Amino acid sequence: MSAIAKLSDDDLILIFLHFPVPAPQPDTQAQDRLVSDDGRPSDAADLTWLSISHVCRRWRSISLSCSAIWSTISFTPPESTSAFLGRARDAPLDVYAHWRPGSNGDLMDLAVTEVMSHLDHIRRLSMEGTTHSRLWAVHLPLFASRQAPLLEELRLTTIGSSRELVLLPDYMFEDDMRRLRRVTISGPFSFSFRNNIFSAQLTHLTLSHINRNRRSATAELFELLSRCPLETLSLTASLPSDLRPLGLRGFPDLTEDKVHLSSLKYCLIEDGDAKLASFIRRVELPQACDVFLYIGVRDPIQDTTGIMPEIIITSEAIKGLCELRNELQRPTLHFVQESGSRCLWTWSGELPEHSGSHPTIEVSMGGTSDLHAVHENLGGGGSIGDTLGSLFLLATLQTFPLQSVRALHVSVRTACPDSMWIALAMLPALEDISVCGPSVPGFTKYLMDYAVYAGMLACLERLTLEHADLSSVFNGKVAAAMLETTIIQRGARNASVPRVTLRHCQANPEHLALLEAASGRIRKSSFASGQLRAEASEGTAIL
């Protein structure tokens, strides 16, 4: 203790400030892809703040005098609320009123009432409870007659399965909320977008599973978006019900101007195909904005129905969004099977104006995650592989501008028909192809067929195959042999011979030797066949 005893009071305060009372872990109704707004881990079990206040009299005296340590009010337990408020004094408060089932109602009621009397110096306010909670029925209506001049962040969350609405007053606070920057509303809340919590200075807006049936909600939402300098926008099952639907025969002409979201850095939209497409067509996003589009709703009950979105409805809107990013260099397209027939496309590229920036557009599309479901509206046979193949081919061709794609990466865990690789003919600038999974043999067949045509994949430089059995037979030919034929045919017509990388593959030693002879080089990782196992220092396998 001798060295520690020499620390000044100011030094100890600086140390203590690293161990404030922690915020509780939120129990949100719907999961989104956003990181924690303040970047801090929520760990209600961390009691370091309690330890430092009980080491000795000096430490206790100093820690109790530092109001910032005690400025988090989490009602755990409710009896501690008065003491924490006294220690926090006039410091800006972070309040987490999470009224979960099993909470002591009377004690929580008294504690929340006491805290809300300090609304004038609350900086962050998070309220969480069931739809029948006294938070909404008793405490929240009192805000309308009070001011919250320091409030920067507001979170309202319902928990439980009840779908009864929680009505928010038209004006939640008395003042104009000039400092409010972040608003998160999750659950069946009913409110107007003209509410004063949606201030003109809002930078972060997250809505999840709200009531979308209010009249004129679409006009109010776009008016809100047009006046706020939003940096983050997340709308999960929250687009208004009166958002004009789009039919299968093309899109109606827009009569209103697009809303320019010039400050937006991250955008997440999760909703039905028609609503999502309609929203995309009404906004203009910066080229550096990362966009994630989830077509459908992550609902276990709806997921089992296997309903596949209408590709035509969304493809034109998403393709237009990609084409507007005309400053992107070396665009890349990834196609990954997430689960069942739900797949993820990732369109990204380099943006010269923003050093190190690789803005991304992600599109999650498909039907059920049930591996045995069949989606007849895509045509084809009766397997998940047929569905995946059709989805890859149709959605890729109709949704993304393929003329400029430099790299294509495909990863599926289900064998798909070789017809899906027709899409390769639409990629004239392709330099890099990566294929992972049991569809590799079908891919090598199409690659061999294309090798005889001078204009097909003329720019191809790199080819990566992963987790594949190259000794398997496809249409009467061994996959490794078809790959060898491709290399020979491209070399015969003086086309570029791609550098072939194999990772975690299997092949007959004889076929592997022929591939080496055709290409003149090899690098491999976890590459095995029977007794053969060859590894290189680079940790991969190149032919």
Q: Where are the beta strands (DSSP E) in 386-534?
A: 407-411, 432-436, 462-466, 473-474, 477-478, 499-503, 524-525, 527-529, 532-534
State residue 22's pLDDT score. 64
State residue 363's pLDDT score. 92
Contacts of residue 137, Cβ cutoff 8 Å, sequence gap at least 6: none
Round to whole Å and give the CA distance between 465 and 410.
10
Interval 353-377: pLDDT, tens: 766 778 999 999 876 555 555 444 4
State residue 118's pLDDT score. 92
Round to whole Å and give the CA distance between 412 and 439.
7
Contacts of residue 247, Cβ cutoff 8 Å, sequence gap at least 6: none
Round to whole Å and give the CA distance between 281 and 264.
16
490 in helix, strand or coil?
A: helix
State residue 23's pLDDT score. 66
Interval 240-295: pLDDT, tens: 988 865 544 445 555 568 899 999 999 999 998 888 999 999 999 999 999 999 98
State residue 331's pLDDT score. 93
Q: What is the pTM of this model?
A: 0.83
Weakly modelled stretches of the chain, pLDDT under 70: 1-3, 18-54, 101-104, 161-162, 244-256, 299-310, 354-355, 367-383, 520-543
State residue 447's pLDDT score. 92
Query: Quick one: angle between helices 81-88 and 105-116, nearest 10?
Result: 20
Instruction: Write out 6-64 in H/E/C secondary structure.
Output: CCCHHHHHHHHCCCCCCCCCCCCCCCCCCCCCCCCCCCCCCCHHHHHCCCCHHHHHHHH
State residue 78's pLDDT score. 84
Instruction: Write out 311-365 in H/E/C secondary structure.
Output: HHHHHHHHHHHHHCCCCCEEEEEEEEEEECCEEEEEEEEECCCCCCCCCEEEEEE
State residue 530's pLDDT score. 34
Task: Give the Cα-Cα-Cα angle 99, 101, 105 (nearest 5 degrees).
Answer: 60
